[in-house]
């Protein structure tokens, strides 16, 4: 395995634009203590592997105590570690080792809601004169908002005699961020982890934390998102985020906000100017090239839609803010199964790496993406674990045949990205010595880290090459972006330009051979082919094989 030298101490605030992040959904990453559940012992053991990819930072999905209604995104204690994952001592070991290897560590900060088992909620339920009474959003009469996960967004609580708001599951009551005491709690959580040495936060649905005053009804057009325009980007959002920014400014750390339904215009409000309170944002437009709003409303893959989304963000943020570049995370099915081809797994997996990584922005790689993991197809809905697979979208389609509904789940479930990481061809994919908490994808004998390590042409080794190339080039890091042939249904082509240096990235999304034409301004110019996912003499042969990808430097 290729190891990288540890980097010298570096500042994350200055360097995040050059960094590659590796995202870990701990429960399914690696089981270090033999109980079938991925944990911080496992993360510790695999830090060398992550560094060998060229990663500069890890992002840990929530590792706090949680009843797991939403696998960690329902937190019952913000200043502790879930016993399934280890303890604070083990967390510190992971943090220290990450730093020794020259990487940074960012945590998930989930403060739009807590678990209903958090002591604050247990107190808040007790009544209006309780000190925690206003920590959550209580009403005598609910409005018409939908929950993104389960039916309506309000649940009646017998003990309190009122309804509480939950944008996600019933077990995830929304915090009342308008209450200054709640904001103080958030700041205290941030300081707790920053004082320990963590390097920043990925801030969960952060654009939801301020809701429109009076909580007005939404227009009931699309079930599940009804109300979203009243609970996202609310009137105090920038004020609250600025308060949090004043905490983080005292540390060398970064803040990356997750922003469902974020538009370029709203993102720029978070990322620039007097409201600047985040360093980067996760946007979603490019994750909707085969669906409408959510993967559960499935449409055929549309390359033009994907390119349009990529280009919109590239053009709009250039020179003003910085993009996050990602194709997978724990909330989306696997990208090869969506935008590529499981049959041409290596070809499409490597092409997809090229298509996103060389844009302008910081690269994020999600566990298993680098070995080309694909969707799982379980036979029974009860075998699925994720709440969003089993609630709204399953129930909204009760009238459809079981077969149709299962097909929808196979395409859309977040669980496809949450199956145990496939390390070897041994039993349980080398993830654990005992039966894992969740089904291993049956393709693990073929698709696993060990076999990818031993093949120089594997997806894994190609990811390493891409990361090396990206990090070694100022053109690929800082250059401007220009798309060519936006109307092509087969080719995605873009240029990166920096101080007169021109590079061209060409990706074929076709299953067939395609003849590619260079843009006029590149025709006949000498060039060097720096990267290609096919071997052999490719440079001047413009017939692209299925899912071929190339990176040219023009001289
Ligand atoms: C976004 C997280 O990424 C997702 O996993 C979670 O279900 C929701 N926010 C609610 O916290």
What is the DSSP code string of 228-245? HHHHSS-TTHHHHHHHHH
CA distances from 263 to 148, 358, 457 (A): 19, 22, 38
- The per-residue pLDDT for 389 is 87
Q: Would the CB of 203 count as within 6 Å of ligand 1?
A: no
Taking each helix axis from N to C end, the angle separating 237-248 and 264-271, rounded to the nearest 10 degrees, works out to 40
CATH code: domain 12-113+181-467 is 3.20.20.80
Q: Is 258 a catalytic residue?
A: yes
- Measured by CA distance, the residue closest to atom 6 of ligand 1 is 73
- Atom index in ligand 1 nearest the CA of residue 70 equals 7
Q: Where are the domains of the chain?
A: 12-113+181-467, 114-174, 480-554
- Look at residue 144 and tell me whether its pLDDT is greater than 90: yes
Overall average pLDDT of the 312-328 stretch: 98
Q: What is the pLDDT of residues 227-254, one digit of tens each?
A: 888 999 999 999 999 999 999 999 999 9
The active-site residue, picked from 31, 155, 258, 548, is 258
Look at residue 282 and give its three-state secondary structure.
Answer: strand
Whether the pLDDT of residue 339 is over 50: the answer is: yes
Say if pTM beats, i.e. exceeds, 0.85: yes
In CATH, 114-174 is 3.90.400.10: yes
pLDDT band at 406 (very low <50, low <70, confident <90, very high): very high
Alpha carbons 204 and 260: distance in angstroms, whole number: 9
Nearest C-alpha to atom 10 of ligand 1 is from which residue? 73
The Cα 545–Cα 525 span in angstroms is 23
If you average pLDDT over residues 449-453, what whole number do you get? 98
Q: Copy the structure tokens of residue 506.
A: 């060409």
Q: What does the block give as tokens for 311?
A: 């280009």
Sheet containing strand 57-60, edge to edge, reads 280-282, 254-258, 200-203, 104-109, 57-60, 20-24, 362-366, 324-325
CA 424 to chain centre: 25
438 CB within 6 A, ligand 1: no
User: What pLDDT, in 10s, does the model give residues 75-87?
Assistant: 999 999 999 999 9
Q: What is the mean pLDDT of residues 268-272?
A: 97
Q: Which ligand 1 atom is the nearest neighbour of the CA of 149? A: 7
Q: Are 223 and 395 in contact (CB under 8 A)?
A: no
In the predicted model, what is the mean pLDDT of the chain? 95
Longest dimension (CA), the chain: 78
Confidence label for 2 from pLDDT (cuts 50, 70 and 90): very low
539: pLDDT confidence band, cut at 50, 70 and 90?
Answer: confident
For 454-493, how does the pLDDT look when each residue is reduced to its tens digit (9 = 90+)? 999 999 999 999 999 999 999 999 999 999 999 999 999 9
Residue to mutate, 171, 204, 324, ligand 1, most ligand atoms under 8 Å from C-beta: 204
Residue 206 CB–ligand 1 contact under 6 Å = no
Thinking of the domain 480-554, which architecture would CATH place it in? Sandwich (2.60)
Query: Please, what is the end-to-end C-alpha distance for the chain in angstroms?
Result: 34
Mutate to test the pocket of ligand 1, among 28, 59, 205, 262 (most ligand atoms within 8 A of CB): 205
Phi, psi of 147 (to 5 degrees): -85, 145
Q: Is 204 a catalytic residue?
A: yes
Q: What angle do CA 424, 65, 201 make, to 5 degrees?
A: 80
Quick one: which atom of ligand 1 is closest to the CA of 260? 1
CB of 25 closer than 6 A to ligand 1? no
> How far is Cα 438 from Cα 246, in angstroms, rounded to an integer?
41
pLDDT for residue 4? 52
pLDDT band for position 200 (50/70/90)?
Answer: very high
Q: Is 210 exposed, middle or buried (0-12, 13-18, 19+ CB in 10 A)?
A: buried
* The one catalytic residue among 204, 328, 347, 548: 204
* pLDDT over threshold 60, residue 7: no
Residue 540's pLDDT is 81
The atom number, within ligand 1, closest to the CA of 168 reads: 10
Give percent of the chain above pLDDT 70: 99
The answer to whether residue 225 scores a pLDDT higher than 90 is no
CA distance 407 to 375: 12
* Separation CA 150–CA 394 (nearest Å): 10
């Amino acid at each position: 395995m290729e190891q990288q030298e540890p980097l010298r101490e570096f500042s994350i605030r200055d360097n995040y634009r050059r960094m590659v992040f590796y995202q870990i959904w701990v429960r399914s990453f690696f089981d270090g203590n033999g109980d079938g559940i991925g944990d911080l012992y496992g993360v510790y053991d695999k830090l060398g592997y992550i560094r060998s990819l060229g990663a500069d930072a890890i992002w840990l999905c929530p590792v706090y105590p949680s009843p797991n209604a939403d696998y960690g995104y329902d937190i019952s204690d913000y200043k502790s570690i879930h016993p399934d994952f280890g303890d604070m001592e083990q967390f510190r070991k992971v943090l220290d080792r990450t730093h020794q290897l020259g990487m940074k560590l960012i945590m998930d900060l989930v403060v739009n809601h807590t678990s209903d088992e958090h002591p604050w909620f247990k107190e808040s339920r007790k009544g209006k004169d309780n000190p925690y009474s206003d920590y959550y959003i209580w009403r005598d009469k609910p409005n018409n908002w939908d929950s993104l996960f389960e039916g309506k967004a309000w649940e009646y609580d017998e003990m309190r005699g009122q309804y509480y708001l939950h944008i996600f599951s019933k077990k995830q009551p929304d915090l009342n961020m308008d209450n200054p005491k709640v904001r103080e709690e958030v700041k205290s959580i941030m300081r707790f982890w920053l004082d320990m040495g963590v390097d920043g936060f990925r801030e969960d649905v952060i654009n939801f934390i301020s809701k429109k005053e009076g909580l007005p009804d939404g227009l009931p057009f699309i079930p599940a998102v009804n109300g979203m325009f009243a609970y996202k980007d609310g009137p105090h959002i920038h004020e609250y985020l600025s308060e949090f920014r004043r905490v983080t400014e005292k540390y060398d750390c970064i803040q990356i906000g997750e922003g469902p339904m974020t538009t370029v215009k709203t993102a720029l409000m978070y990322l620039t100017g007097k409201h600047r309170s985040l360093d980067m944002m996760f946007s979603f437009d490019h994750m909707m090239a085969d669906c409408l709003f959510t993967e559960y409303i499935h449409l055929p893959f549309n390359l033009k839609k994907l390119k349009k989304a990529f280009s919109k963000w590239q053009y709009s943020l250039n020179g003003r803010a910085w993009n996050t570049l990602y194709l997978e995370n724990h909330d989306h099915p696997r990208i090869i199964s969506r935008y590529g081809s499981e049959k041409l797994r290596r070809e499409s997996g490597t092409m997809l790496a090229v298509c996103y990584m060389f844009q302008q922005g910081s690269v994020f790689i999600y566990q298993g993406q680098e070995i080309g993991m694909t969707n799982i197809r379980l036979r029974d809905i009860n075998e699925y674990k994720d709440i969003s697979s089993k609630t709204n979208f399953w129930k909204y389609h009760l009238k459809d045949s079981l077969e149709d509904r299962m097909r929808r789940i196979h395409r859309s479930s977040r669980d496809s990205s949450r199956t145990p990481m496939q390390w070897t061809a041994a039993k349980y994919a080398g993830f654990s010595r005992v039966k894992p908490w969740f089904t291993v994808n049956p393709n693990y004998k073929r698709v696993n880290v060990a076999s990818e390590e031993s093949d120089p042409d594997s997806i894994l080794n190609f990811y390493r090459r891409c990361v090396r190339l990206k990090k070694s080039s100022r053109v690929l890091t800082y250059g401007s972006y220009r798309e060519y042939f936006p109307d092509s249904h087969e080719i995605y082509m873009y240029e990166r330009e920096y101080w007169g240096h021109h590079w061209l990235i060409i990706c074929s999304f076709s299953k067939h051979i395609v003849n590619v034409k260079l843009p006029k301004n590149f025709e006949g110019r000498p060039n060097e082919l720096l990267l290609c996912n096919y071997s052999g003499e490719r440079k001047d042969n413009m017939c692209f094989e299925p899912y071929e990808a190339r990176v040219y430097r023009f001289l």
